[in-house]
A and B are shown apart, each in its own frame.
Chain A
Amino acid sequence: MATEQIISMRNVCKSYKMGSERLNVLKNVDFTVNKGEFTAILGPSGSGKSTLMNIIGCMDTFDSGSYSLNGIPIHQTKERELANIRNHEIGFIFQNYHLIPTYTVMQNIIMPLLMRGQDRKSAEKDCREIVEMLGLSERIHHKPSELSGGQRQRVAIARALCSKPSLLLADEPTGALDQTSGTEVLKLFTKLHEMGNTIVMITHDLNVAKWAQRTIRIVDGEISEEAVNA
């Protein structure tokens, strides 16, 4: 059986205009991610990994090349459709959680579903299932300020999972956490991967990248190395 590709990026280039010069941030980036893979994109600051994440997440455009997400040709898609793709295909997990401080855990998790037009009752039902799986049931009516960093990140993961995306895209998910909470979050990623989720994690930390099944190293906007982790 052929392996299904979730991400297929071919010769993607991206540059920004800096005054009178053009800064080439991504140079012929070429890689694929298969369904069910847990991939880390590793790179130092300024390597272009955030730009790459924005392109993978359909939040930014690119100058040339092609990119398909779950079979959808993103390079031929208009912004209105891209917004729809972000809502249905991608679950974002941010370094600093991006939780709404005045909302409870439940309200935060169901927010993307409500924005999609799903009714509150069924959104809450979906939320309860995921919250239970992530061990947050007792915290469902708490506000983010009443949670630890690790718990906040688990809420952010629950919110990303709630819309049943084809890809979980995590930007430095342990960057704002201490080592213990960071390890907890990475164990959760491993569990989600074992359950069949496709995860792409952006990080600058080699020790974090090692938790993934595969590491793609990016340096100066180019993919310098791809390795399967032990």
Chain B
Amino acid sequence: MSNIEKLQYYFEFPYVRYAFIVGILISLCSSLLGVTLVLKRFSFIGDGLSHVAFGAMSLSTTLPVMIKQYALSWSGEDKLSPRMQGVVNWFGGLNDMYIVLPVTLVCAVLLLRTGQNTKIKGDAAVAMLSVGALAVGYMLMNRFPSRANISGDVCSTLFGSTSILTLKREDVWLCIVMSVAVIAIYLLFYNKIFSVTFDESFTKASGVNADSYNLLIAVVTALIIVLAMNLVGSLLISALIIFPALSAMRIFKSFRSVIICSAVISVACAAFGIIVSILSSTPVGSTIVVADLGVFILFSLISAFVGKARS
């Protein structure tokens, strides 16, 4: 079977098509945000929030087991009451996003607020939240395992190895709605986001409520991280956000051209990564990130070469 035939064969499956659509949308959104985060020197907030998302995902996965275990030990019986079983089943059937999204959103706001606090500096707050969430997540997964294969679950959450291929139609729609919301926010508030990104003091002086826009950026970051968790896992999200922006900045200088180039790189790498992972059975997330890394190295070389030629 040739590679084209292999791809045609795989794309007949809805889950592969879903993965492709979601992958493209997430990479587009993350590249938009990446430019702002890199320029504002907020890259680590993305990293911190991705760890928070891991903790929240662990909580969401283990919540039915946790409730079941505590309910059984409280009642002292071997079997749950029908009412309690209903509660456990409800949590078991709940989409992870309904827990992961609000937890990540709250932490995004907290991080922003703590970053302005003089007692705990921004980078320390991010590090604290990041390792704290990671530890809580891993502890929950070990204490309340939902399946026997704990390391598989942890690996999947951290590296997104399989979750992109297990998306349901509902997940795809949720992803489309959230992606459209992110893109709409960017288009509607382009001038203000641009201004807040470059110069907060001037933006504030120009009559923009800079704090609100910082909050908006934090909320969008949280949204994208939750979306991207399915694609590349929580450990690799930062790469998806930062690499396209950094690559584009090697060559382009204006905000608009950096954003456009970053979006093109990100979408191209996501499509390339998904296709390569289908053809060669590599993990989707890491293949995309390796592609992003490759583009970054290529663009850095081009930038160095052009710089040398000019001088």
Interface residues of A (CB under 8 A from B): 57, 59, 79-80, 83-88, 90, 92, 94, 98, 100, 102-103, 111-112, 114-116
CA distance A111 to B203 in the complex (A): 10
| Residues in A whose Cβ lies below 8 Å from that of B202 | 92, 94, 98
Q: Is the CB of A111 within 8 A of B191?
A: yes
Scoring B residues 183 to 219 as 1 if CB is less than 8 Å from chain A, else 0, what string do you get? Answer: 0000000011001001101111111110000000000
CA distance A161 to B201 in the complex (A): 18
20 pairs, A vs B, C-beta closer than 8 Å:
A59-B205, A84-B207, A86-B204, A86-B205, A86-B207, A87-B207, A94-B201, A98-B199, A98-B201, A98-B202, A98-B205, A100-B195, A100-B198, A102-B253, A102-B254, A111-B191, A111-B195, A112-B206, A112-B207, A115-B192
CA distance A106 to B152 in the complex (A): 56
Q: Is B255 an interface residue (CB 8 A)?
A: yes
Question: Do A115 and B206 contact each other (CB < 8 Å), given the known contacts A94-B201, A98-B199?
Answer: yes
Q: Is the CB of A59 within 8 A of B208?
A: no
Which of B203, B205, B209 is within 8 Å of A80, CB to CB? Answer: B209
Interface residues of B (CB under 8 A from A): 191-192, 195, 198-199, 201-209, 253-255
| Residues in B whose Cβ lies below 8 Å from that of A100 | 195, 198-199
Counting chain A CB atoms within 10 Å of each CB, the highest count among B195, B201, B202, B204 belongs to B202
| Residues in B whose Cβ lies below 8 Å from that of A88 | 207
The smallest C-beta distance from B217 to any residue of chain A, in angstroms, reads 16
| Residues in B whose Cβ lies below 8 Å from that of A111 | 191, 195, 206
Question: Do A115 and B208 contact each other (CB < 8 Å), given the known contacts A100-B199, A102-B253?
Answer: yes
Q: Is the CB of A83 within 8 A of B207?
A: yes
Question: Do A102 and B255 contact each other (CB < 8 Å), given the known contacts A111-B195, A114-B191?
Answer: yes
Number of A-B residue pairs with CB-CB distance less than 8 Å in the complex they form:
51
Which of A80, A102, A115 is within 8 Å of B191, CB to CB? Answer: A115
| Residues in B whose Cβ lies below 8 Å from that of A103 | 254
Which of A85, A94, A102 is within 8 Å of B207, CB to CB? Answer: A85
| Residues in A whose Cβ lies below 8 Å from that of B205 | 57, 59, 86, 90, 92, 94, 98
Which single residue of chain A is at the shortest CB-CB distance from B197?
Answer: A100
| Residues in A whose Cβ lies below 8 Å from that of B254 | 102-103
Q: Sort A-B residue pairs by CB-CB distance and give the 9 closest, nearest first.
A: A87-B207, A86-B207, A98-B202, A92-B205, A112-B206, A83-B209, A102-B254, A114-B191, A83-B207
CA distance A98 to B202 in the complex (A): 6
CA distance A72 to B201 in the complex (A): 23
CA distance A206 to B234 in the complex (A): 58
Counting chain A CB atoms within 10 Å of each CB, the highest count among B202, B205, B209 belongs to B205
Which single residue of chain A is at the shortest CB-CB distance from B252?
Answer: A102
Which single residue of chain A is at the shortest CB-CB distance from B258?
Answer: A102
Counting chain B CB atoms within 10 Å of each CB, the highest count among A87, A102, A103 belongs to A102
